[in-house]
Structures are given as C-alpha cells and as structure tokens.
Amino acid sequence: MSNSTRSVPARSTLIEMYRRMALIKLNDERFRAVIKAGKIVAPYYSPRGQEVIPAAVSVSLSDTDYICTIYRGIHDMLAKGLPVKLLWAEIAGRATGTCKGKGGPMHVTHPATGIMVTTGVVGSSLPIANGLALATQIRGEKRVTIAYFGDGASNIGAFHEALNMASIWKLPVVFVCQNNRYGEHTRYEVTTSARQIADRAAGYGMPGVRVDGNDPLAMHAAAKEAIDRARDGGGPALIEAMTFRFHGHVFGDMDGYMKKGEKEEAMARDPVPAWRNWLLENGHASEGELQQIEASIQRELDAAVEFALASPEPDLSELMTDVFAPGAAQEQAA
Amino acid sequence: MSVPQARIAQMNSIQAINLALDEAMGLDSNVILLGEDIADEEEGGVVGVTRGLSTKYGKSRVRTTPISEQAIIGAAIGAAIVGMRPVAEIMLMNFTAVAMDMIVNHAAKLRFMSGGQTHVPLTIRTMTGAGFGTGGQHADYLEAWFAHTAGIKVVAPSSPADAYGLMLSCVFDDDPCLFIENMPTYWKPGTPPEPGRRIPLGKANIARAGKDVTLVSYSRTVGDCMMTADKLSKEGIDCEVVDLRTVAPWDAESVLKSVARTRRAVIVHEAVKPFGVGAEIASRINEELFGQLAAPVRRVGAHHTPVPFAKKLETEFVPTLARIESAVRATLG
C-alpha cells in the first residue's frame, strides 16, 4: 500500500472503502460457490481482484449520482449501494429481482441507487453515460455520472465518440477504465496501440490519469479529484485504473491464454486483505471491528441467498410485459 | 421558421415537422434536439427542418453534434432514461447502421431488460428515399430492420399534416420511436395540420375508401397508390387505400377489416420486397382470411439490389406506377 505524502481520507471513509471491498469479495466467493453447487445457472463475469476501484470511487458519490456499467459490473453495483438480496434474486432469475428476473446478471438496473444501465456490449456504457450527464447539465443539477468499462472498450468506436462529445460539451462524467490487462482472452499489448489508455484522453482535450487501481488511497484521490471537478462544471476526465481479474473472462475460464504465473502473482497481491492489513497496521481499525463488518456481510449474504432461492420465478405474463409502455400494443400479432 | 398557419393555405413536410418540434419544445422543457448541423449556426439542418429552433430555445436544448451516430443516440438514450424527451436526428436512414447497437440493443430493450424500471422516450428522426441520385448508401428504406426488433415503434408519414400529428405523438410517447421522413417529397405542399392535433400511433388511415381491392402502404408510396386508384377508377375499379402511418406496431385490425370486405390486397412499399414489411402483412392476411380471399395477396417493393445511381436504373428500382397497377390488376384476375 502506498504510504505517500498525500492526505489520507477520514477514518470513516477508510473503513467504508473496506466494507465495500469486503462485500464485493465475499459476495463473489458466495456466488461462485452457489453456481458450482448448481443452485443458480447464470453466466458470471467475476469482478474478483478489481474490488478497490469501485469501492474507492463510490465513497465520493451519493445515491443521486449515476453509474453506467458493464457485464463485469457487479462490483460497481455493490459499491454503489445495490441491495444485495435484489441482486441475488435477479441473478437467480426470480420475480423479486431488480428487473423481475428479465435482465439477468448482465443487465442489472436499480435507479434508486443510481445504477441506470448495465450493458452486455463492450464500450456501450460510455455514450449512454454522456446522456445521463447531459440531462444533469441541461437541468442545472449537481449530479456526476460514472461510466465504467474495461481496457478492451478503449478500442471500440463508442469510446472515442463518447470522449469527444463529453469533452466538447464539458459533461459532468468521469470515464473509469478498469484495465485488467486482458480483453476477453487477448493481452492488452496485442490489441492496443496506446502505451497506456490514459494517454488517449489528451486526444480529446480532457485530463487523463493512470493510477494503481488496487491502491485504495491512490484510487480514492484520483477519483475524488475527477468527481469534484465534474461536479463543479469542470468537465469530464478519464481514469485508467490498473488491476487484474482473478477468475478469467467468464466463470469456467481456465486461463489457458495467460502467461504462466501471472495470475498467481496478482493473487498473491490480493488488494482486499492488503487493505485490511494496512488499516490494522496503521491503527485505523481494530481486528474486532473488521470482523464485525465481515460477519455482518456474511449474514446479509445468507439472507440474500435464502431470499433469492425462495422467491418465485416470474409469471409467464411477464414475457409480454415491459416491451412497450403499459397500455401500448405489446406485440405485432396475437 | 415558425410558420404562421393562418397565412398559408399549403404547408410542406419540412414546415410541418418544424412546427411540431417547435410546439413540442414550447410545451415541455424536457424536449431537446440533437443532431448533425441542426442549430441555426449550421443553417438549421441540411434541409432546414430544425431551422429557427436553436435561436428560439437556445443552443443548450438544440445541440449540433459531431458526426458521431453512436454518441448521438447514446446521449439521447441516457437523457431519456432520466425523463427528458430527446429528438435525435440521424441525418440519413442508412446512417442508422452506424448506431445500430445503441438503437437495437439499448433504446429498444432497456424497458424490458430493466423490468420496467427505466424507459426510453426517444424519437429518432431520419430521412431517406430514392429519386435524388444519391446512390447506394443514402436512399434505402430500412424500416423492416426496426420493425423486426421488439420495443421500438416505426412511424412513416405520407403527408405534411400526418408528419405534424405523428411527430407530436412520437415526442410525447413513452417508448422509442423511429420517424421516417421521405426526402424527395419534403417540399411537396399539402393541407396544413389542425393546430395541436396529434395522430395516434398504431392506427391506420383509410386514405381512400373503395370496395374492389385494398392497397396497403405508408410513407411516399401512399401517393403512388392514390394515383393508381384514381387511374383505375376511370375503368370502374374501386380501390381502397390504407395508409398505415405507423409501420410497427401496425394496425392489423384496420387492414384485416378492409381486406375482409374487398377480398383482395396489394401491399406497396419503397423498401426492397424480399423479407420486407409487406411479407409480414401478407402472411398475416393469409393466416386470418385465407378462405375469404378472391386472389393471392400481392406485394410491390423495390428490386432486391442496392439503390442504383443512374436515373434510368433508379427509376426502375423503386416500385413504379406500372408495377403497382399491374399487381392490382392481377388480383382482379
């Protein structure tokens, strides 16, 4: 953990970042166990290893701020405050889920906590995030929108169109690239012309910064600076947060495309226990306090799993509902 | 260019759509316009549909965009999700291909995928149509792509007054609407609309009542159907012309009712014939009325080729009056 000269946030913020990271980590462990046990069948893109980024970003946001995230976005949603049991019910395909079981893990949506769009298409979170920020700007509100995406998304046209538009209109949006070094199965260097994605910001006239996304203090500082600037009308920024995913592209991925030892090395530097140790070593938290947080999360997860698995599947009438507004024609032909 | 209605007896589609947008923006501050060249500094759109609106409502609500179709539709979707009513212009219908992910994967599906928590009250304006020698990438009718997608409405007016009334309905509809404007008939004058009168989406208009054969069409080719009907009436052939106005969801009830009476149907559209909207309508008529039909349902559409440039080829490409007439005669044996 970097113990630099930069100012350390308030103790409550440090602890809150840990709570959110621990929630993401423990939720992931529970998910993989439940999927392995065959109790839930769903495609799962584990965010394990990338916990620090949304935890450190979200402590500078409130429920009224917006996020757009992607299929590997459960960490972003949990950090933003998504109720755990609604997430589990959605991923189990139950009527009680955030989207009545009609979105699934790649399309979880929860406007009450500002989770506005989750997309399964690489790069598509950015242009829509601009629109949320555009509404905020036209209405003179003080909201900030975060667009989360991966390193692979920086090579699709939507990224470039969105950064350009955000810059010319000075939209209150922060583009947070979670660079986990692989786009699906392909290494960054094979696909990406820029030495670092942060450099691409210069082409669009906005600040761009590469930061260690596994370092909570560095991540928090970079995010807070960009969020505060966007909120005050200073326009967009691009943050490239360096990280690593521990469980490959999708659940069941055997990592055959990775360099030998690369993942093991990253896992040995697991950012969640590292932050836990840093809090203890620097006297910001006691062992008992952190254990209490973890136990509370485990209880929440117990309740969420139970709630999800006990919930009913959606009624068949849901198939024809929400295609159009209620009352509008729902289909072309009976 | 707000057009004072009392002073003019005729109005073209450019003026009518401009008037509808003007009124919508006046009624609701959530209505915003996005698109290439649409503000007055850029002359209010390439044919002037949005002229005067940025001056009247400000450049914050009428935004000229970069030539970035994904970013235009993406921004419109995001704003729509949080309650704005954006009208995004994709200059030419062929350019919707550049924004297809945003339109098809996002605008059309977010209501369903979010379980109704969000919805996208977005109108996409776009123009198209053969006749100007614009060739293979500026003139296609691509409505079948969108009609095939669940969650988006497709609207294709055939006259200035319909364009006005349907545009108002699209802007205030709670779902995404694709609004197709025919380029070659933009300047064709028509009866001015009744102020404020919205035309309901999903409802067809019986443009001409008749008893012998039903012609089903939308957009520019409604005019061709009317001309064909006029010509054949001199021989005592009485055509009914049904203008769908909304292509998706289409007004099956009105079409089936008409065909049940006439027992003959011809579907006419400028889009290419194979796998087109006409195929869906013909199939539905067969499913519902097979035993009552006096003749097989006929379809008239463009040839299954890219839109050609040379005038002679372009004229043959679209459904010609001769092909429409011949199809009608074929149903009469």
CA-closest candidate to residue A245, choices A151, A182, A197, A153: A182
Tens digit of each residue's pLDDT (9 = 90 or more) over A299-332? 999 999 999 999 999 999 999 999 999 976 544 4
Contacts of A161 in chain B (CB under 8 A): 66, 68, 70-71, 74
* Cis geometry, peptide bond prior to residue B249 (ω within 30 degrees of 0): yes
Q: What pLDDT, in 10s, does the model give residues A32-82?
A: 999 999 999 999 999 999 999 999 999 999 999 999 999 999 999 999 999
Residues of A in contact with B280 (CB under 8 A): 332
- Residue B16 tokens read as 């009518």
Cα distances (Å, whole numbers) of residue A321 to A5, A99, A271, A325, B250: 56, 12, 43, 8, 18
pLDDT-based confidence at A96, cuts 50/70/90?
A: very high
Task: For chain A, give the number of residues.
Answer: 334
- Say which CATH architecture domain A11-301 belongs to: 3-Layer(aba) Sandwich (3.40)
Position A252 scores a pLDDT of: 83
Residues of B belonging to the active site: 138
Return the domain boundaries, chain A. Answer: 11-301
Residue reference for tokens 């993401």:
A24
Domain assignment present for residue B199? The answer is no
Residue B263, token pair as written in the block: 């027992």
Structural domain containing residue B253:
205-331
* Interface test with chain B among A128, A132, A332, by most B beta carbons within 10 Å: A128
Cross-chain Cβ contact A102/B115 below 8 Å: yes
The answer to whether residue A170 scores a pLDDT higher than 70 is yes
Binary contact (A116, B151; C-beta < 8 A): no
| CB atoms B111 and A134 under 8 Å | no
Q: Give the end of a domain, one of B124, B151, B182.
A: B182
For the residues A13-20, what does the mean pLDDT come to?
A: 98
| Nearest by Cα to B190 from B21, B9, B48 | B9
Amino acid (1-letter code) at residue A109:
T
As a whole number, the mean pLDDT across chain A is 95
Q: Each residue of A184-217: pLDDT tens digit?
A: 999 999 999 999 999 999 999 999 999 999 999 9
Asked whether residue B256 is assigned to any structural domain, the reply reads yes
Backbone phi, then psi, for B292, in 5-degree steps? -95, -10
Helix or strand holding residue B125 (H, E): strand B123-128
pLDDT band at A333 (very low <50, low <70, confident <90, very high): very low
Instruction: Chain A: give the shortest CA distance to residue B122, in Å.
Output: 12
Regarding whether B118 and B21 lie in a shared domain, the answer is yes
The CB density around residue A292, as the number of other CB atoms within 10 Å, is: 11
Question: Are residues B234 and B172 part of one domain?
Answer: no
Share of chain A above pLDDT 70, in %: 96
In chain A, what residues touch B119 (CB-CB under 8 Å)? 325
Supply the pLDDT for residue A332: 46
Structure tokens at B156: 């294709």
Assess contact for A205 and A167: CB atoms under 8 A.
yes
For B105, nearest residue in chain A (alpha carbons) = A121
> For the residues of A93-150, what is the DSSP string, one character each?
T-TTSTTTTSS-TTS--BGGGTEEEEESSTTTHHHHHHHHHHHHHHHT----EEEEEE
- Domain count within chain B: 2
Residue B258 lies in a domain: yes
Contact B117 A138 (CB under 8 A): no
Same domain, B139 and B264: no
B16, B167, B178, B189 from B20: Cα distances, Å: 6, 6, 16, 16
Is A48 in a helix, a strand, or coil? coil
Q: Which residues contact B181 (CB under 8 A, 6 or more apart)?
A: B13, B17, B49, B125, B126, B127, B128, B157, B163
Select from B190, B195, B194 the least CA-distant residue to B207: B190
For residue A87, the model assigns a pLDDT of: 98
Which residue out of B82, B173, B251 would a mutagenesis test of the A interface target, given it has the greatest number of A Cβ atoms within 10 Å?
Answer: B82
CA torsion, ordered B24, B26, B31, B34, to nearest 10 deg:
90
Phi-psi region for residue B219, left (φ > 0), alpha (ψ -120 to 50) or beta?
left
Residue of chain B nearest A132, judged by CA positions? B78
Cβ–Cβ of A324/B153 closer than 8 Å? Answer: yes
Q: Are residues B130 and B222 in the same domain?
A: no
pLDDT value at A156 more than 80: yes
**Does B195 fall in a domain?**
no
Q: pTM for this one? A: 0.96
Cα distance from A292 to chain B (closest Cα, Å)? 34
CA distance B69 to B36: 9
Give the 3-state secondary structure of residue B217. Answer: strand
Q: Rounded CA gap, A79 and B224, in Å?
A: 59
> Would B267 be classed as within a structural domain?
yes
ipTM of the complex: 0.95
Nearest Cα residue to B65 out of B44, B31, B34: B34
Pick B78's closest partner by Cβ from A120, A128, A329.
A128
Is the separation of the CB atoms in B213 and B265 below 8 Å?
Answer: yes
Give the model's pLDDT for residue A329. Answer: 54
Residue by residue, pLDDT tens for chain B (333 residues) are 455 555 578 999 999 999 999 999 999 999 999 999 999 999 999 999 999 999 999 999 999 999 999 999 999 999 999 999 999 999 999 999 999 999 999 999 999 999 999 999 999 999 999 999 999 999 999 999 999 999 999 999 999 999 999 999 999 999 999 999 999 999 999 999 999 999 999 999 999 999 999 999 999 999 999 999 999 999 999 999 999 999 999 999 999 999 999 999 999 999 999 999 999 999 999 999 999 999 999 999 999 999 999 999 999 999 999 999 999 999 998
B197 in any annotated domain:
no
